[in-house]
Amino acid sequence: MTETETRKADHLRICLDRDVQFHETTNGLERYRFIHACLPELNYDEIDISINFLDKKMGAPLLISSMTGGTEQAGKINYRLAEVAQHYKIAMGVGSQRVAVENPQVGKTFAVRNIAPDILLFANLGAVQLNYEYGLEQCRRVIDLLEANALILHLNPLQECVQTKGDTNFRGLLEKIAILCKKLPVPVIAKEVGNGISAAMAQKLIDVGVAAIDVAGAGGTSWAKVESERATDAQQRRLGATFADWGMPTAECVATIRAIAPNIPLIASGGLRNGLEAAKAIALGADITGMAWPFLQAAAESEEALHALVKVLIAEITTVLFCTGNATLSDLKNSGALQKSPIS
């Protein structure tokens, strides 16, 4: 097993078995509430939560966020996730495919297109790898492996700082991202890993051609904590503890990016745990919403648990639309039904 494969196995084990969630910083969505419509004048059965995203029709505004791949257990989880994504026509991202570039034999743990032929499927590499001998060839390889609709370039400076022997040369990446945006055959999505993307950073990414932003804000899994758990020395463990709650809340990222970029396809992820929070993020300006930890927990349990999770998420989003008097997600965005909660 390569060093990268070992790291992927560690990540999966730690996320499933250890408390690596944010404790102090929240996703910020608790600061908002919907105005209740006691007479919605709607038929619940006619509410439509489908959406078009990156020219693909989705059955619900849900993304199974990038998580895993590269090990036998990860492959089983990805196959389960792909099956449920296909069933409900929701989007799916895979974990970093660097491990498959290093060892093509583990590529099958990511290759889910035969299970999910119709879904919006995202390939994934760390942007920092562009400074470590990765380029167009490797990006094309991971896209082709998945038959992906887009490539996620994840941005993880804090994780790399805490990770033992992390890759911390982030100099000049914008220029390299710009080249990929021009030359790759699919759109490029910029994504954080749980510390958020500010409006200023989003604007820089949009300016170089990034087609969509996944804010991946604070409030969910803390990768500083994850890396602290697997650190091999005291300094790295302390770094992880110090920066365990570092980052910008998801709600803040969504609202501020949407204010400066009204048309950029926008994904809200980072600490979302139910359909009510997903609906709040959409009302703030997101187009679709991503979750990782809830899907990972369900996938590790059973296929039945995964189906139950998606069903309840869909029911929760639909209930928000019904109880705010909105028939579609577009109506919800334009309704003004979401307000800041009064200070108690």
Rg (C-alpha) for the chain, rounded Å, is 19
Mean pLDDT, residues 53-73 taken together: 95
Q: Identify which has the larger pLDDT, 310 or 70.
A: 310
pLDDT tens digits for 311-340?
A: 999 999 999 999 999 999 999 999 999 999
Chain centroid to CA 29: 16
DSSP secondary structure letter of residue 328? B
**Are residues 178 and 208 in contact, defined by beta-carbon separation less than 8 angstroms?**
yes
Give, in order, the Cα–Cα distances in Å from 317 to each of 49, 99, 100, 158, 292: 8, 36, 36, 32, 17
Confidence bin at 63 (pLDDT 50/70/90): very high
Q: Is the pLDDT of residue 344 over 60?
A: no
- CB neighbour list of residue 151: distance below 8 Å, 6 or more residues apart: 122, 123, 124, 125, 139, 142, 143, 180, 184, 186, 187, 188, 189
pTM of the model: 0.96
4-8, 51-55, 128-132, 235-239: segment of lowest average pLDDT: 4-8
Q: Is the pLDDT of residue 5 over 80?
A: no
Q: Is the pLDDT of residue 343 over 80?
A: no
**10, exposed or middle or buried, with CB in 10 Å at 0-12, 13-18, 19+?**
middle
pLDDT for position 13: 87
**3-state SS record for 246-308:** CCCEHHHHHHHHHHHCCCCCEEEECCCCCHHHHHHHHHHCCCEEEECHHHHHHHHHCHHHHHH
**Are residues 216 and 249 in contact, defined by beta-carbon separation less than 8 angstroms?**
no
